Amino acid sequence: MKRAVLLTGHFPHQKRRPSLLWVSEAMQADGWHVTHVTVGYSWLSVLKGDRRLAALDQVPKPGTHDISPSLTAIYGRSLLHPFSTRSACLDTLLRPFHALFPAYWSRPLRRPLAQADLVLVESGAPIMLAPLARRLAPQAQLIYRVNDDIRLLGLPRFLPLLEARYAPIFDRISTASPHLARRFNGLAPVTMDPMGIPHAHLQNTTDPYTRRADKEVVCAGTTQLDIAALTRIAAARPNWRLHVIGRLKSAPPQLSNLNFLGEQAFDTTLAHIAHADIGLAPYLDAPGIEYQTSNSNRILLYRHFGLPILGPDRLCHPSVPSIIGYGDPNAWLRCETTPKKPETIPDWTDLARRLTRQNPAIEPPFDVSSVPATA
C-alpha cells in the first residue's frame, strides 16, 4: 500500500469540505493510506477561542488517531502557530519565535514522513514545514498544492516570502489557477491541475427553501467575505432571500432577507446550492482575488448546477460566462432572467490521480490572461 501525508490546516472530519478532504477520500478509494496532519494551531488558538475550532462539533484531541485502515489523523498544538498581529513591525519582531512551529512538528511527523511515498503541502501555515518534510522524507514526491493566495488570508507577512524561498524544495507546484501559477514561474516545475466536485455526492437533494421567495440566493461559504457587498445586495433586492453558509468573524448585519446559517454539513450546503436561483461569490474586491474564478469550490458547484453567479468584476472572465460582475448595469436583471445552464466539472478523483502521478507533463509557459477551462 502506498502512503501519503497531507499537511493542511483542515480537520479530516469537519462540516466544511475543502479540496484536500475530497482528494484524501479519492486517494483512499484508489488504495492509498493517507495520514492527514492538521497544523496551524497552538495553545494560543485555545486561549483566544479560535473560530475554526468553535465551528467543529467537538474539541479535537491532540495526538495520532487511526480512523480507519486507510486513514490516520494527527493533530497537535505547538507553543506558537503562524498568525498575524496586523502590524508589520510586530510580525517582524515575532518572526524568530515562529521557529517554534516547525520545531514542534519535527517529532510527530518523523515516522509518517519516513514511510511516505507522497507528501502534499497545502498553501498556508503548512508551507513553514516544507524544509522539515524534505529532510524527513527524502524518498517521497513532495508537492506544494496552492489552493489560495496566502497574501490574502490574513497570515504573517513573512509567509509569502517563505513560500517563494521554499518553492525550489518541491518536486512540483500544483494549482488550478494561472494567476497563482505565474508566481512560481522559474522557481519550480508547475502543473495546472483543476479543482473538482464530488460527483457521487450530488444526487437526490431535498429542497430546503420553504415558502420560496421570488429568488432564493445562496452564498455557500464565507472565506474572504465582503459583508458590505452582501448587505448592498440584500438592500437592493428586497424580493431576494439570501442564505449565507459559513462562520463569521463578527456579528452579522440585521436585514429581514439576509439569513445566516452558520457552518453546515456538506449535504445541507449542497441542497441550498442545488435548489437556489442565484449563487453569490461576494469575495473581497482586492487585487489577487481573481484566482477564485478557477479555485473556488462554491463557484464550481454553482456552475455544475447552472446558477447565474454574482460577484466582483475581478472574477469575470470569458471562460466562465456565468459570472456576472457587480459593475454590469444590468447585473440584477441578468441574475433574475438568465436560465440555468449546468456545466460539466471534473470529479475530485481526477485531481487525486493527477497529484499521485509521478511524472506529469509540466505545463508550458502560461499567460495569466488565459484561464484554463475546467468544464
pLDDT digits (tens, 9 = 90+) for 156-203: 888 999 999 999 999 999 999 999 999 998 899 999 999 999 999 998
- Residue 342 placed within a domain: no
DSSP assignment string, 64-103: EEEEETTEEEEE--BS------S-HHHHHHHGGGGGHHHH
DSSP H/E element including 302: helix 297-305
Same domain as 141, residue 246: no
Is the distance from CB of 317 to CB of 299 less than 8 angstroms?
A: no
Q: How many CB atoms lie within 10 A of CB 222?
A: 21
The answer to whether residues 159 and 21 belong to one domain is yes
Q: Are 219 and 245 in contact (CB under 8 A)?
A: yes
| DSSP at 46 | H
* Residue 365 counted as domain residue: no
Top-confidence residue, 215 or 57: 215
Residue 372, pLDDT score: 39
Task: Classify the phi-psi angles of 243: left when phi > 0, otherwise alpha if psi is within -120 to 50, otherwise beta.
Answer: beta
Same domain, 110 and 84: yes
Q: What cell numbers appear for 201 in the block?
A: 455526492
Number of domains the chain contains: 2
User: Do 283 and 150 share a domain, yes or no?
Assistant: no
pLDDT at 144 > cutoff 50: yes
Are 274 and 154 members of one domain? Answer: no
User: Cell numbers at residue 89, please?
Assistant: 513591525
The answer on pLDDT for 218 being more than 80 is: yes
Q: Does some domain include residue 369?
A: no
Q: Is residue 283 part of a domain?
A: yes
Phi then psi dihedrals of residue 26, to 5 deg: -65, -40
Residue 203 and residue 189 share a domain: no
Residue 370 lies in a domain: no
CATH number at residue 144: 3.40.50.11010
Question: Are residues 178 and 139 both part of a single domain?
Answer: yes
Q: What is the extent of the structural domain holding 156?
A: 3-196+348-356
Separation CA 282–CA 88 (nearest Å): 27
Pair 153, 294 in one domain: no
Q: What is the pLDDT of residues 252-272, one digit of tens each?
A: 888 999 999 999 999 999 999
Asked if residue 233 has pLDDT above 80, the reply is yes
Give the single-character DSSP code of 347: B
| Percent of the chain clearing pLDDT 90 (strictly above) | 76
Q: How confident is the model at residue 361 (pLDDT cuts 50, 70, 90)?
A: low
In this structure, how many other beta carbons lie within 10 angstroms of the beta carbon of residue 213?
Answer: 15
Q: Mean pLDDT for the chain?
A: 91
Percentage of the chain exceeding pLDDT 70: 95
The domain that holds 290 is classified in CATH as 3.40.50.2000
Burial of 61 (0-12, 13-18, 19+ CB in 10 A): exposed
User: pLDDT value at position 85?
Assistant: 80
CB 275 within 8 A of CB 208: yes
Q: How far apart (Å, rounded) are the C-alpha atoms in residues 273 and 309?
A: 11
Residues 143 and 269 in one domain: no
What distance in Å separates the CA atoms of residue 100 and residue 121, rounded to the nearest whole number?
19
Asked if the structure places residue 314 within a domain, the reply is yes
From residue 365, alpha-carbon distances to 102, 148, 149, 166, 284 in Å are 33, 21, 20, 21, 29
> What's the whole-number mean pLDDT along residues 211-229?
95
Same domain, 188 and 223: no
38 vs 32: CA distance, rounded Å: 19
* Global model pTM greater than 0.85: yes
How many other C-beta atoms are found inside a 10 Å radius of the C-beta of residue 56? 13
Cα 127 from Cα 167, distance rounded (Å) = 9
User: Could you please report the per-residue DSSP string of 182-243?
Assistant: GGGTTTS-EEE----B-GGG-S-PPP--SS--SEEEEEE--TTB-HHHHHHHHHH-TTEEEE
Question: What per-residue confidence (pLDDT) applies to 366?
Answer: 52
In a domain, residue 374? The reply is no
Could you read off the pLDDT of 36-62 as tens digits, one per residue? 999 999 888 877 777 777 667 788 899
Asked whether residue 190 falls in the same domain as residue 326, the answer is: no
Element (H, E) at 286: none
Q: Does the residue 41 lie in any domain?
A: yes
The secondary structure element, H or E, covering residue 243 is: strand 240-245
What is the spatial distance between Cα 282 and Cα 8, in angstroms, rounded to a whole number?
Answer: 25
Cβ neighbours for 160, distance < 8 A, ≥ 6 positions apart: 150, 151
Q: What is the pLDDT of residues 310-345, one digit of tens each?
A: 999 999 999 899 999 999 999 999 999 999 999 999
List of residues 6+ apart from 88 with CB closer than 8 A: 157
**Burial level of 131, CB count in 10 A (0-12/13-18/19+)?**
middle
Is 26 in the same domain as 169?
A: yes
